[in-house]
Amino acid sequence: MSGLRIATDSTADVPAGLAADLQIVVVPCQVFWGEEVYRDGVDLAPQQFYEKLARSVELPKTSQPPVSRFVETYHRLLELEESEAVISIHVAGNLSGTVNAAWTAAQAQPDPSRVEVIDSGQISMGIGWAVIRAARMAQAGATRDAISRAVREMLPNIRAAAMIDTLDNLYKGGRISQVTAALGTVLKVKPLISVQEGHVRVTERVRTRSRALKRLAAIVQSWGPLAEVAVLHTGAEGLAREFKAMIEDLAPYHEIMVEPAGPALTTHLGLGAIGVCAVLAGETQ
């Protein structure tokens, strides 16, 4: 392995076992629930979060890791024997303050040039696939420049889309009106969203869950051949596995992951959402 260390934040949703195998350092985001503060993935596992969210009247608040946590993480990694540099890949900068916190922490190091902070322009495993690519290359002994270049070239070829099952969280979070939420519930409207290069947009509004999942599958199909695919869910594993079966033919040579989404994504999308994060074929190794 090279002297490069790969870091990310917990919004990347990289499976814990894979992160351990690839020596990816995950800096936990924070979840504020009333007077309680949790570290994402450390004090609060996804299933615990889903159960607590289902019982809660008010939404929790999520926040990027504090700068001090990044400072401590970078210092620890750079002090490791034969450590050359840290490549730190994070959630889209216009969706979170995480990139700014990481950059500020990098500037606080004795030699800031030893920490490279990359804005993925993505969420969830859209970040995760870039992090995994970097970690695999680091384990294979690739240089810092090679890894940085490969990740930056990969990012425009990552796709993410999701079906929102309930409008409750968007209403509670103040993003839509009570009337809109009520009408959406009555009509069983399921918005479809996409994320690319840091921009989130509603692509369609589809009646009923079954139709929405078929449209989501069609969107994934429109991306063309896929090299890496992850299906994410917010407390709906059974539905996620059903959706996986709908798109398996699109990635015949690669295993499709089914993983729980973390608190940040779940807080905004609500329970029951299904998402897909993929890398276009020919853009990974």
Contacting residues for 111 by C-beta, under 8 A, at least 6 apart: none
Does domain 4-156 fall under CATH 3.40.710.10? My reply is no
Looking at residue 147, its amino acid is I
Q: Which helix (H) or strand (E) holds 9?
A: strand 4-9
Q: Where in the sequence of the chain do the CATH 3.40.50.10170 domains occur?
A: 4-156
User: What stretch(es) of the chain map to CATH 3.30.1180.10?
Assistant: 158-280
What tens digit of pLDDT does each residue of 110-159 get?
999 999 999 999 999 999 999 999 999 999 999 999 999 999 999 999 99
Helix (H/G/I), strand (E/B), else coil: 250: helix
Per-residue pLDDT tens over the stretch 211-236: 999 999 999 999 998 999 999 999 99
pLDDT for position 97 = 93
In the chain, how long is the greatest CA-to-CA distance? Answer: 60
Most confident option among 13-27, 39-53, 176-190, 247-261: 13-27
| CATH architecture entry for 158-280 | 2-Layer Sandwich (3.30)
Contact 25, 5 (CB under 8 A): yes
Residues facing 206 on adjacent strands? 190
Which pTM does this prediction carry? Answer: 0.91
